[in-house]
Amino acid sequence: MRIATWNVNSITARLPRLLAWLESSGTDVLCIQETKCGAEQFPAEQLRELGYESAVNATGRWNGVALLSRVGLDDVVSGLPGGPEYDGVQEPRAVSATCGPLRLWSVYVPNGRELAHPHYAYKLRWLEALRAAVAEDAAGARPFAVLGDYNIAPTDADVWDVSVFEGGTHVTEPERAALAALREAGLSDVVPRPLKYDHPYTYWDYRELGFPKNKGMRIDLVYGNKPFTEAVRDGYVDREERKGKGASDHAPVVVDLDL
């Protein structure tokens, strides 16, 4: 069974590439972030023609998440139970469902913006709510994983130059402590094999030739419980999908399971 996560940075802009990638990659379940559309604009029919059911949590031009599955889609929960609001709204940043033998979440963790910005405190509250919401499934016997754009680099090795991020978000101790709390709840970081490069980055800024110079970050993560991680047989970052015209600034992270 093949599952993946991909921040597409607008499903409307990326739809031709997404459809082609689904056909060529053999992916059974895909977690999507940053749909940047309302639910009524989500291309559910085009995806259904490829055999994928869709669970969508999207409300407009910002944020938005989805789960696509061709192995079943049941018990859908839209949103983060107990999650905080920002500017009076619970943003569309989480959706979960049972896909065949798996229970999966697609999450888009708040960016945080700047350390002194209210969005950073919101990010930490959101991550605490995530830990509380997934704790029961993380400790359970069913394979379970939380996939998505975490907007956190787990270690200094997961950014191209940690000095560039000094005093900024994505690398701070409180953010990394939130990842540690997920691990304490029973989830493990499934790290893709690096292939050509030493570190399997998943995001490269569009600016300043970030991708050609491999100035990247590993912020798209797969956190699975013990039954999930024991079933993992392979994992990789599909860097090819970051290349060329019309690419997202993130690449898909793919995990193969023997279930």
Total number of residues shown for the chain = 259
All residues at 6 or more sequence positions from 45 whose CB lies less than 8 Å from its CB, including other chains: none
Has 223 been annotated as catalytic? no
Task: Count other C-beta atoms under 10 Å from residue 149's C-beta.
Answer: 27
Burial 78-99 (b: 16+ CB within 10 A, else e): ebbeebbebeeebbbbbbbbbb
The one catalytic residue in 28, 52, 108, 158 is 108
The one catalytic residue in 28, 52, 137, 149 is 149
Has 86 been annotated as catalytic? no
Centroid of chain to Cα 95: 11
All residues at 6 or more sequence positions from 181 whose CB lies less than 8 Å from its CB, including other chains: 127, 128, 131
Mind giving me the DSSP string for 93-112?
-EEEEEETTEEEEEEE----
Has 234 been annotated as catalytic? no
Residues making up the annotated binding site for Mg(2+) are 7, 34, 149, 151, 249-250
Pair of tokens at residue 191 = 């790290």
d(CA 157, CA 196): 16
Q: Quick check: helix, strand or coil at residue 198?
A: coil
The one catalytic residue in 52, 120, 203, 250 is 250
Residues making up the annotated binding site are 7, 34, 149, 151, 249-250
Catalytic residues: 108, 149, 250
